[in-house]
Amino acid sequence: MTAALAALEARLATKELERDAIESAQTLLAIAEEALERWVVARGDVPTGEQREGFRLLALHRQGARGVPSFNACRETCREIAYHYNLLTMAPHHDQSARRARMMQLLVNHLVLFVSGKMEVEGLGEFCCASRPLRTEPST
């Protein structure tokens, strides 16, 4: 695992969520984006500044998955992070905000662990239904 991803993981492990739901959501989204930026840079690309469906996170995922079908294993995690970001920022005073922020934190941690694992083990994520080898093998 790279030192930068290890630092993100440690930051998540010790992170106390802010009382402000919007601030928590912004911080967690930034950590998720940084994890994907690290993946893109490790592959020799420059991280995109574009957005996909209103999120840079989704654009970074798309860029990171280009040419690596097994990277799609974390696509739904990225979409869930975006969903929880919207929940927290659109209704910051909801009675479930603390639970939503905790769930977003767990999702971001999952993404960081996946990216760090992917950097160590190229085949990680090949079980994913979106992975080309699984889709092209004849069914028995």
Domain edges within the chain: 3-10+23-136
**How confident is the model at residue 84, as a pLDDT?**
98
Length of the chain: 140
Q: How far is Cα of residue 22 from the mean position of the Cα atoms in its chain?
A: 18
Residue 81 · residue 32 · CB < 8 Å: yes
- Strand ranges, E, within the chain: none
Q: Which residues contact 134 (CB under 8 A, 6 or more apart)?
A: 126, 127, 128
What tens digit of pLDDT does each residue of 74-129 get? 999 999 999 999 999 999 999 999 999 999 999 999 999 999 988 887 645 544 44
Estimate the share of the chain in helix, then strand, then coil, as percent rounded to the nearest 5: 70, 0, 30
DSSP label at 128? S
Whether pLDDT at 63 is above 70? yes
What tens digit of pLDDT does each residue of 126-135 get? 444 444 444 4
20 to 61, 94, 101, 122: CA distances (angstroms):
27, 11, 10, 38
What is the pTM assigned to this prediction? Answer: 0.84
